[in-house]
Amino acid sequence: MKPIQSTQYIEIATPADFNYDECLVHLGRSSQENLYRIKKDKVIKLLKINGERVLFQLTAVPGALRIEFPLNAPTLDETEQVVAYIEDWFDLNTDLREFYEMAETDPILNPVVQQYYGLRIIGVPDLFEALVWAVMGQQINLTFAYTLKKRFVESYGDSVVYEDETYWTFPHPETIAVLPLEELRALQLTGRKSEYILGIASMMATGVLNKERLLEEPDMESKLLEIRGVGAWSANYVMMKCLHDASAFPLADVGLHNALKAQLDMERKPTLAEITELSANWSGWEAYATFYLWRSLL
Residues 81 and 131 in one domain: no
Q: Do residues 146 and 33 touch, judged by C-beta distance below 8 A?
A: yes
Question: Would 171 be classed as within a structural domain?
Answer: yes
Give the DSSP H or E segment for 277.
helix 272-278
Question: Are 153 and 220 members of one domain?
Answer: yes
User: 200: domain range?
Assistant: 127-243
Domain assignment of residue 254, yes or no: no
Domain assignment present for residue 261? The answer is no
* Strand partners for 64: 13, 61
Q: What is the CATH number of the domain that holds 198?
A: 1.10.340.30
Note whether 203 and 139 are same-domain residues.
Answer: yes
Where residue 88 sits, what CATH number does that domain have? Answer: 3.30.310.20
Residues 49 and 135 in one domain: no
Among residues 46, 70, 93, which one ends one of the domains? 93
Q: Is residue 36 part of a domain?
A: yes
Q: Is the pTM of this model over 0.85?
A: yes
Q: Are 110 and 104 in contact (CB under 8 A)?
A: yes
Q: What is the 3-state secondary structure (H, E, C) of 48-108?
A: EECCEEEEEEEEEECCEEEEECCCCCCCHHHHHHHHHHHHHHCCCCCCCHHHHHHHHCCCC
Q: Name residue 65's beta-bridge partners.
A: 12, 60
Is 253 catalytic? The answer is yes
- In a domain, residue 214? The reply is yes
Domain co-membership, 73 together with 149: no
The one-digit pLDDT tens for each residue of the chain (298 residues) are 556 555 578 999 999 999 999 999 999 999 999 999 999 999 999 999 999 999 999 999 999 999 999 998 999 999 999 999 999 999 999 999 999 999 999 999 999 999 999 999 999 999 999 999 999 999 899 999 999 999 999 999 999 999 999 999 999 999 999 999 999 999 999 999 999 999 999 999 999 999 999 999 999 999 999 999 999 999 999 999 999 999 999 999 999 999 999 999 999 999 999 999 999 999 999 999 999 999 999 9
Query: How many residues are recorded in the chain?
Result: 298
Q: Say if residue 237 is in the same domain as residue 154.
A: yes
Instruction: Count the Cβ atoms, other than its own, within 10 Å of residue 115.
Output: 12
Last residue of a domain, one of 93, 108, 141: 93
Choosing from 17, 158, 253, 265, the catalytic residue is 253
Domain count, the chain: 2
Do both 136 and 233 map to the same domain? Answer: yes
